[in-house]
Each structure stands twice: as C-alpha cells, then as structure tokens.
Amino acid sequence: MRSPDGAWRWLLRKEWRELMTSPSWWVMFTLAGPLVGLSFISAVRAYGEASGVGGVAGGLADALWPLDGVLVPTLSAYEIIALFLLPFVAIRVVAGDRQSGAAKLELQHPMSSLGRMGAKVLVLFGGWCLAGIPAVMACVLWKIYHGSIYAPEAGTVILGHLLHAGLIIALAAAAASMTEHPSTAAILTLAFTVGTWVLNFVAAVQGGLWERLARYTPSEMLATFQHALLRLNVVLAALAFIAAGLVIAAIWMRLGVAVARRVVESAAVVVVAAAIVFACSFVRADWDSSENRRNSFSEADEETLATIKTPLTIEAHLAPEDPRRFDLEHQTLSKLRRILPDLTVRYVSSTSIGLFEQANAHYGEIWYDLAGRRTMSRITSSEGVLETIYGLAGVLPPKEDEPELHGHPLAARPVGAAPLFYAIWPMAIVGLGFYVKRRKR
C-alpha cells in the first residue's frame, strides 16, 4: 500500500483535476469577471461623480475614502459569489465521489478522513483564490486611474472574504457529506444562508438576544472586516466554525462507520466548537486597520478614556430600529467598547421601531452610571457622549490638536473596465476552459 504522503499527493492531484473538469467551478470562474466588473464600474463611476466628474464635488470629496467608495463595493461581488455559486462548487467536490461511486474505491485506502477532506479543502481554496483574479484586475485598474489603496485595510477586507468563503465551504462540505444527494446539500446550504439573513433581519427589528446571535452570522462577520476592523475574537470564532464544519464533513465521509457513532462524534464537535466560540467572546484584542481610524476615537480621546478605570454602564432607551440607536451604536459605542473593557451597554425599549414610544417621557434617554455617579443625556453623537462621560468621570476633555484627515477623492471614469470584465474575461475563460478540457485527455 502506498505511503500516506504519496497517496495524499495523488489525491490532491485528483481533486484538482476534478475541480478543473467541474462545470460549476468554470461557471463561477467565468461569472466572477462580470460580477466584479459590474461592482467595480458602478463604484468607480459613483466615486468619480462624488469627486467632481461632470460637476462640482463641494465638500463631499474630502470625505471620500476608497475603502467605502471602491474597495468594499467591488469585493462585495465575492459575497454574492460565495453565497450563490461557491456552495455548488464545494458540494460537487465533496459529494461527487459518492455520486459516482469513486468514494467506495477511495475509502479503501487507510488514509484518515481528515486527510481526504484536507485535500478537497485545499483544492477549493485554490479554486477560490483563482476566482479572485478579477479583484486583482480591478485593483490594478484602480491604480492605473491613480486611485489610492491602503494596504492594511485592503488586507483586512480580503481576509474577511477569505474567512467568509471558508465558512461557506465548511458549511457546504458538511451538508454534502451528511446528505445522500447533492441537491439536498444545496438546499440545506441555501436554507442556512437565507436563515442567517432572516436572523439578521429579526436582530435588526427585535434586538436583544437575536442581536447577539446575529453577530455570528457570516454576513455580520464580514461586515466587521468591511469596516477595516480586525477583531481577533471574530477571526478565532470564524476559524472555529470552519474547523467544526470540515471535521463534521470528514466524520460523515467515513461510510464504513456506523451512523450512530457519526452522530455522537458530530455532536461532540458541535459542543467543542460552541465552547471555543464562547471562549472567543472574551478575547478583546483588535486592530483598526483603516486609514482614517474610522473605528477609533482620536488618539487624544483614547488616551483620556484609558485613564477611566471604573466600570461604566450605559442604558439607552432607544428601540432597535430607531436611527438614533444606530448612530449611537455605530458612531460611538462600538468605538467605546474597544477602549473601555468594563463597559456595559443596555438597550431598553418596549417596541421595535420606537415610533409609539415617543410619548413616553423617558424614551430617548441615555443614562450613564460610573461608579455610582449617574447622569442622563439624550445626545447620540460621539462628541456629546464623550463629553458626558468626561464630565461624569471628572476628567478634562483633551484638546483636539490632531490634524484633520482628508479623503482621497478621484474624479476618474472606469475607462477600459467594461470591455475587460464583460468581454475579454469571459471569452478568455471560456477559451481556457476548452483548452484545459482538451489537455486533460
């Protein structure tokens, strides 16, 4: 019998050949160009118009950053690709052997199922990286237009998309391995994806527990990276979910093991993964990789806030769908959580939209409690919240002497992008597909 290493290399080679002959992968590869192109062209056009193409930009141009204006919209095409195309590629790679009967042959090698799954995942990851070529093309075009790319924030967004794809691959692999037929696996995977969207919607409306649960959905996780915020707990939780999905897929590949044992092993994996994810929630390390420190207060404010050591509790009487709550959470509290480890935030509301609570005299109040000293304010802006906290803590607000950051407006048009993404790319990929098919024989 072949040594495990030699056999694994053969398996890897086989999986790669199978991927290269997989119509679903070629469809994904081909469509990646037009989808990325559509996002890129729309983003560059909107960015250019806001920067002054065909008119006057006014003060808006100074607030334009390529992260929000071009990078995130362009790469968002990969969120669509990962949700609607990648599962079929992954399911085909994982379930194909069982469908064709090859699994019955391959399982007669004493290789571990994790090794088998590893080969499949490595090949899928390689395939996903190849599908990233249109994104590289978009970045090159953006640089040709003299656009700015800040490498740390670009890297963070790319890492988010890689982890997002990893989650989808793990989910699809587990579904494909556990079900008899690929179509069942596809339905399960899409049901899960749509289910997380429903969860996000319910979280936005209901808040509370739903909001906490929604933090673990793939789209919410990706959103963190899209803000150029690299949170270690999110990365670790995503890796735990990916590992759990792949181990479950590996467990169910072992057709020769009794179903009851596979169920018990899968349950154990779920329990371990849940414990790891729970433990990850206590990890607080993060890094604001954005060029304009969008996830952070000014350095002076952060230094001043760091001197406040006592626990702070904020109780906001705002409904989940109230725009003031959105501003408070995203403009201020999310930044505050990174600086004050002993911060507790409670939202209080009896309705989801808050419209019918306006008559309540206490609605809209934000109560601050710092070591027993309490005060109330209704201001939701960063400046107002910080002023209230400084006043409560008895510290002087820092002087704002940091230079104001200016964005990178670019009055450019997406020249050459349409023919490249809509014509040259699809034709090149179709041609490459035929060439590969002929060469494989």
* Residues in contact with other proteins by the rule CB under 8 A: 1-3, 6-7, 10-11, 13-14, 17-18, 21-22, 97, 100-110, 255-259, 440-441
Strands 312-316 and 343-347, by their bridges, are: parallel
**Residue indicated by tokens 């290789």:** 111
* In the complex, minimum distance from the CB of residue 26 to other proteins, in angstroms, rounded to a whole number: 12
- The Cα–Cα gap between 110 and 3 comes to 10
Q: Is the separation of the CB atoms in 171 and 192 below 8 Å?
A: yes
Using the minimum distance from each CB to other proteins, give the nearer residue, 110 or 372. Answer: 110
Least separation, in Å, of the C-beta of 35 and other proteins? 26
Name the token pair of 117: 């799954």
Closest CB to other proteins among residues 102, 274 = 102
The distance of closest approach from Cβ of residue 107 to other proteins in the complex, given in angstroms and rounded to an integer, is 5
Least distance in Å: CB of 23 to other proteins?
9
The least CB distance from residue 29 to other proteins, in Å, is 16
Q: Confirm if 295 and 227 have CB atoms less than 8 A apart.
A: yes
3-state secondary structure of 293: coil
For the chain, the residue count is 441
17 versus 406: smaller Cβ distance to other proteins: 17
H helices present in 101-231, as ranges: 102-106, 113-130, 133-144, 151-178, 182-206, 208-214, 218-226
The encoded tokens of residue 280 equal 């990850």
**Which of 103/213 has CB closer to other proteins?**
103
CB nearer other proteins, residue 106 or residue 369? 106
Instruction: Tell me whether residue 21 or residue 360 sits nearer to other proteins (CB atom).
Output: 21
Task: Give yes or no for a contact between 135 and 78, defined as CB atoms under 8 angstroms apart.
Answer: yes
Of 347, 295, 350, the C-alpha closest to 324 is: 347
Q: How far is the CB of 294 from other proteins (least distance, A)?
A: 48
Q: Residue 242 and residue 114: Cα distance in Å, rounded?
A: 13
